[in-house]
Amino acid sequence: MTHAIDTTIPDLPDWMRQARRGVDWGLLLVIGFSLLVAWPFIALPTLPHTNASENYVYAAANFAAAFQEGRLYPRWSPYALGGYGAPLPHYYPPGAPFLAGLLQVLLTGDAVSAVRLAYILALVLAGTAVYSLVTRRTNAAAGLLAAVLYLYSPYTGLVAPHLLGDLAVMLALALLPALLGCADRLLLRRRPLDVLLVALLTAALVFTHVGLALAGIVLVLTLALWQRLALRRSRGRLVMAGLLLGVGMAACFWIPALLEQPAIHWRPPLAAPPYRLSLAGLVAPLQQPDSSDLTPPPQFTLGLPALAFAGLGVAAILRCRQFRSIQAFFLATGLVTTVVTVLALPGETALLGVITLSSAVGGSAALNLRDSLPSRWRRVALPATLILIWILAAPVWLPPPVTEPFGGYDAAAQIQHEQSGYGVAALPPTLPVPSTLPNHLPPNRLLVESYLSGCVNRVSISQTDSVPVRVGLLGEQTHSSRFQVSTGASATLDVLLAYFPGWRASLNGLLIPLFPHPQTNLTRVTIPPVRGGQLVLELGSTQERLGAWLITWLALAIALILTWGRFRRYVPVYQGVTLLTKAEARLVALALGCAALFTPLTVLPGSPLSLRLPPGHALNHATSLSMRTDAGLSVLAYRLNGTQFRSGDTLDLTLYWQAQRALPENYRVLLYLLDIRTGARWNEQPFHHPGGYPTRRWNTSRYVSASYVLPLNRAMPPGPYQVALEVFACTPDCLPQNRVTFFDATGRNIGPVLYLPTLTVLD
């Protein structure tokens, strides 16, 4: 008779302990919760035209076209600025359109589906990255709670992907916890691949969002410093090496963008909404977006779950005296980030992602409070908590419905988009446009018509040349053009292409002079005598770009060599983590299953179980105005945060507009504060599209909300003021004689200036 030897897990060899670890059910459950919050992108086959997702679709299509031409790093947007072109990917991080374009080429074959898939992948990566970060330091239950808090926060689950449509921020919100997780694992375990992963994730963040990349680098360095002070472990050199190598890998983007700034000037953005973070806004309750609002304003708030669990996390840390835990570190980091952002950087709204991540990780400490519960209630504490978060975060998984098909995104659609006054198609309208052309240069009618007809013609003969030249188009691509030319003598060709360093011309394989036009900065080419020659215009490299690529490949080579050397010296050491038990995983899976059954029924438009508030519910809290204009534009209502202010206070104003009929012009609004006694104007806002959305795109069945944040100048004298607004038909200049006329509800002529009720500014 034989007896089994009772060998506990710690006595087994590392390979056997790893084999007996079991399935990480928590990771699978996090993926399930991630797909649940991404359900609108899975279920609905389209994307809206009312936020930046539209622009990322156009940019993804341009990147996909460049990839199919064999160009792996696009630096040019060929259809921008009336078809003249602009170096948008050269000066803006190309990570988001690069990923979407790659998905289009490899998987979807459609730019809209590629952008939707990119959002889904970002949400899944965000959830799994937070789970891995917290689980390594604590346990799988806390990691699952942190991941759900992060995914179902207003900024991660609603504002960035649905209201702003900012794919770059959404990807950065996924890469940020992934970078922190790899850096944390490097500090704890020093696995061979971690330095390389830290470098690659740092480079990916720089390629995606520079602001959040800088925040991520600061967070990683702060984490290394905390590790040294709190746990007396010093591995900061490896972390610093990974960060430096990552910045070096991204040199092919940021070095040319910095060094070649003199080649361009920045055109002001089409719309610049005054989004700002404030302490009152961060703690405000999240409101469900109104389905009647064509452009629902983003709500930069942490949400009730994050605030509640952050408070519970503080209580748990104090109760258990876990002042050196990872949750305590992130709570302190979130508090410092909040103070710095609100006081010094209120306009950097992307930092709300850092605050959200910190509150989610810190709030996971609240799970330690379940130890004080009776034993029969402890096992249901986690699933009950997750269901509670899901219920409280209902506005997050009830985004505004999108039913209209997206339509085309080819060259003609992008040209038509810009010609309609909607801004550059491949760039969000809130960003300035890098241009090499003078602002007064009008679009070329023949070039625009050739794009719309599908046969691009961007070469014309200079009027100063009397030599006959024959030019025929052979091929047009995103970064090059090919022509067949014949001329009996030297001639100058004016090319309807914006000049930019790197463009070069070759005739039958030999370089020929290419230079900018002195007045327009369009490209000119000098052609020698030739019969049936092939002229090629192509965007090549420069010394700055070659040097930057050398740094990129050198940093990658150093990272690979360092990783190879670490593999040779590495001795595997098993370090286990506390995973979910099967019983606990079953209960959480049951909660996830209930949410998964209920969510699709409440998200899809027209569902009988929909939890959406009735259309127009946001107007219930506004003051009715009912002012119309002779142009078909009406002001339905307004909302103010008070009537008495002090100098230095902030005035929050929201106007609700509606189009009574299809509007023929993109009307612009001028808004200011008028001193009733002196007639002086204060806080005058630049001419802008109401709601940041051109009026020709308005839907008559929905309204448009326009939010303003006006810091009252401390030099304003005390007294009565009125908010005044004027509406102009700018064709193209906004002249006083082009103002529209306001009428009240009875038809009485109000005049060209609409005044809101009187405000009082106190000393």
pLDDT per residue as tens digits for the range 377-432: 888 899 999 999 999 999 998 898 887 889 999 999 999 999 998 999 999 999 99
Q: Decide: helix, strand or coil at residue 168.
A: helix
Average pLDDT score over residue span 679-686:
88
Q: How far apart are CA 34 and CA 484, in angstroms?
A: 54
Which stretch of DSSP H or E encloses residue 197? helix 194-208
- Selection from 168, 64, 182 nearest residue 128 by Cα: 182
Q: Is the pLDDT of residue 231 over 80?
A: no
Q: Is 59 strand, coil or helix?
A: helix
- What is the H or E stretch that residue 697 is in? none
- Return the axis-axis angle of helices 543-569 and 194-208, rounded to nearest 10°: 150
SS3 state at 559: helix
Check: CB of residue 382 under 8 Å from CB of residue 368. no
pTM above 0.75, yes or no: yes
Q: How far apart, in whole angstroms, are the C-alpha atoms of residue 41 and residue 34?
A: 12
CA neighbor of 334 nearest in space, from 173, 183, 219, 201: 219
- Calculate helix-pair angle for 167-188, 194-208, nearest 10 degrees: 160
Weakest mean pLDDT among 233-242, 470-479, 540-549? 233-242
Report pLDDT for 410: 92
Task: Count Cβ atoms within 10 A of the Cβ of residue 372 and give its class: 0-12 exposed, 13-18 middle, 19 or more buried.
Answer: exposed
Distance of CA 647 to the CA centre of its chain: 34
Which residues touch 532 (CB under 8 Å, ≥6 apart)?
484, 486
Q: What is the mean pLDDT of residues 57-74?
A: 95
Q: What is the pLDDT of residue 604?
A: 64
pLDDT at 192: 84
Phi, psi of 579 (to 5 degrees): -90, 170
How many whole angstroms separate alpha carbon 656 and alpha carbon 690? Answer: 9
Q: Looking at this protein, which amino acid is placed at residue 732?
A: P
Which of 81-95, 438-452, 518-532, 620-634 ranks highest by mean pLDDT?
81-95
Cβ-based burial of 307 (10 A; exposed 0-12, middle 13-18, buried ≥19): middle
CA torsion through residues 684, 686, 692, 697, sign: positive
Can you name the residues that pair with 669 across neighbouring β-strands?
688, 727
pLDDT in tens, 183-199: 999 988 778 889 999 99
Query: For residue range 649-670, what is the model confidence (pLDDT) as tens digits?
Result: 888 899 999 999 999 889 999 9
489 — pLDDT class (breaks 50, 70, 90): confident
* pLDDT value at residue 3: 40
Classify residue 400 by its DSSP letter: P
Q: Where is pLDDT greater, at 311 or 570?
A: 311
Rounded-to-integer distance, Cα 427 and Cα 54, Å: 9
Q: Is the dihedral of CA 450, 451, 456, 460 positive or negative?
A: positive
H-run or E-run covering 432: none
353 with 169: CB under 8 angstroms?
A: yes
Burial 535-562 (b: 16+ CB within 10 A, else e): bbbebeeeebbebbbebbeebbebbeeb
Q: Mind listing the pLDDT tens digit for each residue in 119-142? A: 999 999 999 999 999 999 899 999
pLDDT at site 4:
39
For 705-747, what is each residue's pLDDT tens digit? Answer: 998 888 888 888 888 889 999 999 987 788 888 899 999 888 8
Measured distance between the N- and C-terminal CA atoms of the chain, rounded to whole angstroms: 96
3-state secondary structure 219-253: HHHHHHHHHHHHHCCCCHHHHHHHHHHHHHHCHHH
State the residue for tokens 């003598």: 489
Whether residue 629 is predicted with pLDDT greater than 50 in this model: the reply is: yes
Supply the DSSP string of 445-485, one letter for each residue.
HHHHHHHHHT----EEE-TT--S-EEEEEEEE-SSEEEEEE
Strands 644-646 and 754-762: parallel
Question: How far is Cα 131 from Cα 105, in angstroms, rounded to an integer?
Answer: 31
Count CA within 13 A, CB hemisphere, residue 334. Answer: 26
Domains of the chain: 21-402+548-603 (no CATH), 457-540 (2.60.40.1180), 622-762 (2.60.40.1930)
DSSP 577-592: --PPPHHHHHHHHHHH
Which residue do the tokens 């299509």 mark?
A: 61
d(CA 716, CA 736): 26
Give me Rg for the CA atoms of the chain: 29
Q: What is the mean pLDDT of the chain?
A: 89
Q: Provide the pLDDT for residue 518.
A: 92
Average pLDDT over residues 66-80: 94
pLDDT band at 144 (very low <50, low <70, confident <90, very high): very high
Residue 600 has pLDDT above 80, yes or no: no
d(CA 60, CA 268): 23
| Residue at 257: amino acid letter | A
Phi, psi of 285 (to 5 degrees): -70, 145
Residue 2 has pLDDT above 60, yes or no: no
